Amino acid sequence: MMKKITSITVACLLLGLCGLTVLAVEQKLMNVQVKKGTVRSTPSFLGRIIASLNYGDQVVVKEEHNSWSKIVVPGISTEAWMHSSALSNKKIILKPGASDVEQAASNDELTLAGRGFNQEVEKEFKSQNPRMDFTWIDRMEMMVVSQNEIQAFVKVGELHPEGGSK
């Protein structure tokens, strides 16, 4: 009787391990859900920029680390990192209501993606929130900091960000 239980237990464990192996091989396809998504060499906003992807581009997620996804872009063999907030499980298409796709972008999503938070949208938001002061937000929107300036800041400050800056 003891041998039967042991054999059954071993068989279940082996089947479980086989199942885990199959899951590890499975690819997780995701889509870029931001206008321009930055692909970096390390899982850090200070990592060297390798490429930029556009809204709707598809990637394969190989691994997830904190809020970063290690990705491969189909057709390009280089593995790199992209912040997970820039990715979506939804299949993004530019024509709402298409029947050949599980989840199409809604009309509202397309409108927002096309319009962004522009002056018209801001004006409407301000009218609904008259006490809100947008002075500092407007100033921040005008600021442009290049990747080289960020790298110089990290170097001069002798900072060692998590994920590195290579």
Domains, the chain, in order of start with CATH, read 27-115 (2.30.30.40), 117-160 (no CATH)
For the CA atoms of 113, 119, 125, 131, the dihedral, rounded to the nearest 10 degrees, stands at: 150
Chain length of the chain: 166
> Structure tokens of 22?
């199959």
Q: Calculate Rg over the CA atoms of the chain.
A: 23
Digit-coded pLDDT (tens) for 101-154: 444 555 555 555 555 566 777 778 778 888 888 788 778 878 888 888 988 988
The pLDDT value recorded for residue 114 is 52
Cα separation, 6 vs 11, whole angstroms? 9
Cα distance between residue 76 and residue 97, in whole Å: 31
Question: pLDDT by residue (tens digit) across 21-36?
Answer: 434 446 789 999 888 8
Distance CA 89, CA 35 (A): 16
